[in-house]
Amino acid sequence: MAATADTIERTSEPPRLRVAARLRELSLYREILMNLVRKELKVKYTASVLGAVWSILNPVVFLGVFTLVFSVVLDNGIPSFPIFLLSGLLAWNLFSVSLTQAARSVIDNSNLVKKVYFPREILPLSSIGVALVDFVLQSLVLVVFMVAIGYDFHASSLVLLPLAFVAILAFTVAMSFLVSALNVRYRDVQHLLTLGLLVWFWMTPIVYSAWLVQDRAEGHAFLGIDLFDFYLVNPMAGIVSGFQRALYGVVRPEGAGSPVLLDVSVGWLALLLTLIAALSVFLLWLTWRTFFRLSGDFAEEL
């Protein structure tokens, strides 16, 4: 085997994260990751009659409730509201489900952590993997739905999709490393996270129009900085806007009195997403280092 001659040295010092070497090690253990994701998916859906249908049912119910509330009861005037909602909601779900599961991942697998050596990053990564499978399934349903009703895809804005995806992935991994590592020592984290994600959800333009915020903030400034820029400090706001622009496609759809999406150019949004992705990668490096340093003590803390 390839690793035979390698000397592994372990000391009392928390090792420094060497990204390339760690990535190599992670790839050696990728089968554990695959198997954990497979296990989670199987466990989630065995012994249930509908199986994977449940993962699609979840956004469908969300869709029903929010459409009823926001299109019928409180008419927000957004045309094709289901597509607007889902294009943002699916991305949000990927983020929030990943984080919630990742926070518990090390604790829930304490038996493995105490008895088996493997790079601990695999645990939060497997939580993300499970959420990713749901995300892909749900996105497929959305795309099929859009094709079925003959919704127009806008090729020019569709290019934002891979960029938004890279950004959300980097940001999700970064945040997952942080919450899963901290939650081992402070179980408060998972409770805090539930509340935090609720606030975060409404801070992100998922069920309401981002333009509304842009419009209200127009002309206001704080400390000489545009108020709307503060809103965009939330990376999820930019990321969700990216997904919406890519799929919902039009800023001001026909039949809408005012714009629905951020009233910016595709290029501006692409720049924003690139910036978010770059910062997320930097954040990932920081949280990964934290995770790596703390993970040596997981077996003891549990």
Partner 1 sequence: MGLPAIEVDGISKKFRLYRERPTSLKARLISSRTSAEDFWALHDVAFTMERGTSLGLIGHNGSGKTTLLKVIAGILRPTSGTVRTRGRIAALLELGAGFHPDLTGRENVYLNASFLGLSRKHTTRAYDDIVAFAELEDFMDNQVKFYSSGMLVRLGFAVAVHVDPDILLIDEVLAVGDEGFQARCLDRVRQFQRDGRTIVLVTHALDTVREICDRAVMLHHGRIHAAGAPDEVVRELRYVLLRRDPAFIPEEGTREVEIASVELIREDGSTDRPVRPGEALTIQTDVKANEAVDDLDVSFAVYDWRNHPVCDGSTTRSGAVMDRFEGKKRVRFALRSVPVEAGKYWVTVGLSSRDSGRLYHVQTQRYWFEVQQQEAGRARVAVPIEVDVEDL
The residue ranges that bind partner 1 (CB under 8 A) are 1, 3-12, 14, 31-32, 35-36, 38-39, 42-43, 46-47, 111-118, 185-188, 296-297, 299-300
The smaller minimum CB distance to partner 1, of residues 186 and 282, is found at 186
CB distance 258 to 252 below 8 Å: yes
Nearest residue (CB) to partner 1, 253 versus 296: 296
CB of 93 to partner 1, least distance (A): 24
The total of other beta-carbon atoms located within 10 Å of residue 259's CB is 18
The residue (of 254 and 300) whose beta carbon lies closer to partner 1 is: 300
Question: How near is the Cβ of 119 to partner 1 at its closest, in Å?
Answer: 10
What value does the CA radius of gyration of the chain take, rounded to a whole number of Å?
21
CB 158, min distance to partner 1, A: 36
Quote the CA–CA distance of 176 and 73 in Å, as a whole number. Answer: 36
Closest by CA to 174, choosing from 77, 278, 90, 244, is: 278
d(CA 235, CA 273): 9
Q: Which tokens sit at 235?
A: 């990376």
DSSP H or E run through 154 = none
Q: Which is nearer to partner 1, 35 or 265 (CB)?
A: 35
- Closer residue to partner 1 in complex, CB, 211/291: 291
8 A C-beta contact, residue 121 and residue 109: no
- Minimum CB separation from partner 1 for residue 1, in Å? 6
- Amino acid 97 reads V
Q: How far is the CB of 10 from partner 1 (least distance, A)?
A: 5
**Closer residue to partner 1 (CB): 4 or 20:** 4
Q: Is the dihedral of CA 122, 32, 93, 277 positive or negative?
A: positive
- Indicate the residue among 111 and 254 with the shorter CB distance to partner 1: 111
CA pair distance 83, 72, nearest whole angstrom:
15
Cα–Cα distance measured from residue 202 to residue 197, given in angstroms and rounded to the nearest whole number? 9
Contact assessment for residue 198 and residue 100, using Cβ atoms and an 8 Å cutoff? no
* Min CB(12)–partner 1 separation in Å: 5
Q: How far is the CB of 122 from partner 1 (least distance, A)?
A: 10
Please, what is the end-to-end C-alpha distance for the chain in angstroms?
33
Closest CB to partner 1 among 160 and 182? 182
User: DSSP secondary-structure letter at 225?
Assistant: E
CB of 24 to partner 1, least distance (A): 14
- Distance of alpha carbon 15 from alpha carbon 296, whole angstroms: 9
Helix axis angle, 30-45 to 122-148, nearest 10°: 60
